[in-house]
């Protein structure tokens, strides 16, 4: 098999080739002479592409080739970190993801070969059929369940899994059993909180041991980044905090207000980054959509923060998963009755029956099929008291929250998530989720161990004397997004696609959303994600009517086949 990979001339790349494989990675301009994420053995017969990091031993994608090649990726054993790995040679390909599958890695078959990438956009082909089950889930829940992508032929490597391709075929094998995680039976008492704080401090030490780099902290006013802030300052670590001004809770400016207040009082380096407006916002939104391939509509502010990173390679410590593990995850009345009742409640709450009125019948899958796919994924996690918590991590956090950093971070910088340390994850999942929801463990840890930081208000603690803000910015943002997306549909001849997928009334609402604010406010929940998904699949690339509708940034791009690759 022969594969041709085209890379824009403006992109600087590293590549490595073997007798039947090729690896391509973006070049890190912030690290002089860096081999990117590709590490080739001295014989040239094999190579490892490694994006992310391991905490034990402390190795990351930009570590020395010797350190990366010494890791036994295909062997059994503990791998504590957030990573995506491809180990390739003439007779075998191994793809590996971290225990919770946070770092994205996708693959598909090309004839008798396998292509894989950390971004779906490099894997699409002419004639691909859209995965309308996954699309339905994005429109309702905001993310896809299981390991779907926007097209049927592409699959995301599951959490804690190896995909092995050799002369025997392609198969998936779990190296980490999700069922081995605790199910939340331990009480939340003082002894447990002291253990939680100790485990977190160990996780921070492990994170800082990864590399001697400048440290950047994306700082909100929430508990997650505040605990990291306290840990850094207690160690006298030199760092810079960055906060993008966003408008939350009745359009109030909370994060920037409170983060700046902390910085002024505690005297640490801090920058408030203003949101983009007008054309700059439209350009950022287009880049964001391309980098996450339309799989989430969140974090329109993210590129403003990432573009503000230092010109030198830095360590970005993010609070991903902190609130989920220390709090209850899904906040739904009626949880914690039984495993099956909790499962069904999550399915019904995440996938309400609100697509029938907008989706063209006979094209989209039935709503119960969409729910059953969601249900099957949750059942595979296994019976547990903290199903809602682990489901939140594997679904919303993994597919909707993590992409802002793990898929959009510029090459050369290293994103590290202390709360994803496996020892910390196990400990927090051992605590009773119902009690965690009532007491809020993140806040308790701040109050008990860092009262100086707990005293500041956060984005969940709004003073009564702080008046609501204006919704004009959000309305303006939605207007810019709608006009950009509709303009793209018109320019590229994808106007028919909207009519093929939606009822006449829903399609009319989409067109009117670009002109009328009242219609836009009531249609934005389905119009923007739908148009972003259409934007990622061109009409000449997609079969919009599947034969059977019911079955329907920096990174690595590579392919491997049994014959030849070029």
Choose one of 454, 488, 515: the last residue of a domain. Answer: 454
Model pLDDT for residues 139-184, shown as the tens digit of each residue: 999 999 989 999 999 999 999 999 999 989 999 999 999 999 999 9
In percent, the amount of the chain with pLDDT more than 70 equals 92
User: What pLDDT does 538 receive?
Assistant: 64
7 three-state secondary structure: coil
pLDDT-wise least confident of 111-115, 156-160, 457-461, 561-565:
561-565
Give the pLDDT band (50/70/90) at residue 557. Answer: low
pLDDT-wise least confident of 209-213, 264-268, 370-374:
209-213
Q: Which CATH number belongs to the domain containing residue 48 in this structure?
A: 3.60.20
Cα gap 364→359, rounded to integer Å:
7
Residue 9 pLDDT > 80: no
Residue 125 pLDDT > 50: yes
Choose among 218, 204, 215, 220: nearest CA to 456: 220
DSSP for 188-247 reads: --HHHHHHHHHHHHHHHHHHHTT---EEEEE--SSHHHHHHHHHHHHTT--EEEEEE--E
Mean pLDDT of the chain: 88
199 and 270 in a common domain: yes
55 and 19 in a common domain: yes
User: What pLDDT does 31 receive?
Assistant: 77
Cα gap 207→204, rounded to integer Å:
5
* 252 domain residue, yes or no: yes
pLDDT-wise least confident of 43-52, 115-124, 245-254:
245-254
Are 424 and 418 in contact, with CB atoms under 8 Å apart?
yes
208 and 230 in a common domain: yes
User: What pLDDT does 56 receive?
Assistant: 93
Taking each helix axis as running N to C, give the angle between helix 190-208 and helix 422-429, from 0 to 180 degrees, rounded to the nearest 10.
160
* 254 domain residue, yes or no: yes
Choose among 481, 491, 494, 488: nearest CA to 528: 481
413 and 278 in a common domain: yes
Model pLDDT for residues 127-140, shown as the tens digit of each residue: 889 999 999 999 99
- 472 against 337, higher pLDDT: 337
Taking each helix axis as running N to C, give the angle between helix 504-513 and helix 472-491, from 0 to 180 degrees, rounded to the nearest 10.
110
Model pLDDT for residues 184-230, shown as the tens digit of each residue: 999 999 999 999 999 999 999 999 999 889 999 999 989 999 999 99
* 542 domain residue, yes or no: no
Is residue 521 packed enough to be buried (19+ CB in 10 Å), middle (13-18) or exposed (0-12)? middle
Residue 71 DSSP code: S
Choose one of 421, 454, 487: the last residue of a domain. Answer: 454
Model pLDDT for residues 483-519, shown as the tens digit of each residue: 999 988 888 878 888 989 999 999 999 989 988 889 9
User: What pLDDT does 35 receive?
Assistant: 59
- 127 against 408, higher pLDDT: 408
Cα gap 64→229, rounded to integer Å:
29
400 and 278 in a common domain: yes
- Among the ranges 69-78, 121-130, 404-413, which has the highest mean pLDDT value? 404-413
Query: Can you list the alpha helix ranges (DSSP code H) found in 441-553?
Result: 441-449, 451-454, 472-491, 495-501, 504-513, 517-536
- 8 against 214, higher pLDDT: 214
Domain containing 492 equals 472-536
Peptide bond into 54 cis (omega under 30): no
Taking each helix axis as running N to C, give the angle between helix 190-208 and helix 223-234, from 0 to 180 degrees, rounded to the nearest 10.
70
133 and 234 in a common domain: no
Give the pLDDT band (50/70/90) at residue 350. Answer: very high
Are 560 and 518 in contact, with CB atoms under 8 Å apart?
no
User: What pLDDT does 318 receive?
Assistant: 97
Choose among 249, 243, 246: nearest CA to 229: 243
Residue 564 pLDDT > 80: no
User: What pLDDT does 329 receive?
Assistant: 80
* 370 domain residue, yes or no: no
Q: How many CB atoms lie within 10 A of CB 277?
A: 12
Are 554 and 24 in contact, with CB atoms under 8 Å apart?
no
For residue 474, give both structure tokens.
């959000």
Is residue 67 packed enough to be buried (19+ CB in 10 Å), middle (13-18) or exposed (0-12)? middle
Choose one of 420, 454, 488: the last residue of a domain. Answer: 454
Residue 418 DSSP code: G
483 and 433 in a common domain: no
230 and 164 in a common domain: no
Are 407 and 292 in contact, with CB atoms under 8 Å apart?
yes
Are 561 and 18 in contact, with CB atoms under 8 Å apart?
no
258 and 146 in a common domain: no
List the Cα angle 432/226/57 in 5-degree steps.
75
For residues 287-299, b (16+ Cβ closer than 10 Å) or e, as one string? bbbbbbbbbbbeb
* 173 domain residue, yes or no: yes
Cα gap 319→421, rounded to integer Å:
12
Give residue for tokens 């509709």: 486
524 and 402 in a common domain: no
Q: How large is the average pLDDT for residues 517-545? A: 80
- 91 against 160, higher pLDDT: 160
For residue 87, give both structure tokens.
């180990």
Instruction: Report the number of distinct structural domains present in the chain.
Output: 3
Are 363 and 549 in contact, with CB atoms under 8 Å apart?
yes
User: What pLDDT does 558 receive?
Assistant: 64
151 three-state secondary structure: strand
* 379 domain residue, yes or no: no
* 346 domain residue, yes or no: no
* 2 domain residue, yes or no: no
277 and 150 in a common domain: no
Q: Which CATH number belongs to the domain containing residue 207 in this structure?
A: 3.40.50.620
275 and 391 in a common domain: yes
User: What pLDDT does 3 receive?
Assistant: 43
Model pLDDT for residues 288-332, shown as the tens digit of each residue: 999 999 999 999 999 999 999 998 999 999 999 999 999 878 889
Residue 565 pLDDT > 80: no
């Amino acid at each position: 098999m022969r594969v041709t990979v085209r890379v824009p001339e403006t992109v600087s790349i590293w590549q490595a080739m073997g007798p039947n494989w090729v690896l391509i990675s973006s070049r890190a301009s912030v690290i002089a002479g860096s081999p990117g994420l590709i590490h080739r053995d001295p014989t040239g017969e094999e190579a490892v592409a490694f994006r992310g990091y391991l905490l034990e031993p402390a190795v990351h994608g930009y570590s020395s080739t010797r350190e990366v090649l010494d890791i036994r990726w295909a062997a059994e054993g503990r791998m504590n970190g957030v990573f995506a790995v491809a180990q390739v040679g003439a007779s075998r390909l191994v793809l590996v993801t971290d225990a919770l599958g946070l770092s994205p890695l996708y693959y598909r078959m090309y004839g008798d070969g396998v292509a894989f990438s950390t971004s779906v956009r490099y894997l699409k082909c002419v004639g691909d059929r859209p995965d309308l089950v996954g699309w339905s889930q994005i429109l309702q829940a905001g993310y896809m369940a299981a390991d779907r992508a926007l097209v049927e032929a592409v699959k995301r490597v599951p959490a804690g899994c190896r995909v092995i391709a050799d002369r025997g075929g392609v198969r998936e094998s779990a190296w980490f059993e999700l069922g081995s995680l605790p199910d939340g039976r331990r009480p939340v008492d003082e002894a447990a909180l002291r253990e939680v704080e100790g485990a977190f401090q160990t996780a921070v030490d492990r994170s800082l041991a990864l590399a001697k780099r400048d440290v950047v902290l994306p700082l909100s006013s929430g508990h997650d980044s505040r605990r990291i802030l306290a840990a850094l300052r207690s160690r006298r670590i030199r760092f810079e905090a960055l906060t993008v001004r966003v408008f939350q809770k009745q359009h109030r400016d909370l994060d920037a207000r409170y983060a700046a207040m902390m910085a002024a009082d505690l005297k640490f380096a801090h920058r408030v980054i203003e949101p983009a407006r007008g054309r700059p916002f439209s350009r950022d939104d287009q880049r964001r959509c391309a980098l996450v391939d339309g799989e989430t509509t969140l974090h329109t502010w993210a590129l403003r923060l990432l573009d503000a990173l230092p010109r030198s390679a830095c360590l970005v410590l993010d609070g991903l998963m902190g609130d989920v593990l220390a709090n209850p995850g899904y906040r739904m009345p009626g949880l914690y009755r039984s495993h099956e009742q909790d499962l069904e409640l999550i399915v019904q709450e995440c996938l309400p029956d609100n697509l029938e009125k907008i989706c063209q019948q006979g094209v989209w899958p039935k709503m119960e099929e969409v729910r059953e796919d969601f249900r099957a994924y949750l059942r595979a996690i296994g019976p547990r008291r903290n199903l809602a918590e682990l489901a939140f991590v594997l679904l919303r956090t993994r597919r909707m929250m993590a992409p802002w950093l793990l898929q959009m971070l510029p090459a050369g910088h290293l994103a590290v998530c202390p709360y994803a340390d496996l020892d910390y994850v196990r400990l927090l999942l051992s605590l009773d989720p119902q009690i965690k929801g009532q007491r809020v463990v993140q806040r308790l840890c701040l109050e008990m161990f860092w009262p100086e930081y707990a005293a500041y208000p956060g984005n969940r603690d709004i003073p009564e004397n702080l008046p609501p803000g204006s919704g004009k910015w959000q309305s303006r943002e939605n207007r810019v997004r709608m006009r950009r997306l509709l303009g793209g549909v018109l320019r590229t001849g994808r106007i028919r696609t909207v009519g093929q997928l939606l009822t006449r009334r829903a399609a009319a609402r989409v067109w009117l959303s670009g002109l009328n604010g009242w219609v836009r406010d009531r249609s934005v929940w389905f119009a923007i994600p739908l148009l972003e998904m259409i934007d990622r699949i061109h009409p000449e690339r997609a079969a919009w009517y599947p034969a059977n509708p019911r079955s329907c940034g920096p990174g690595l791009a590579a392919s491997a086949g049994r014959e030849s690759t070029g």
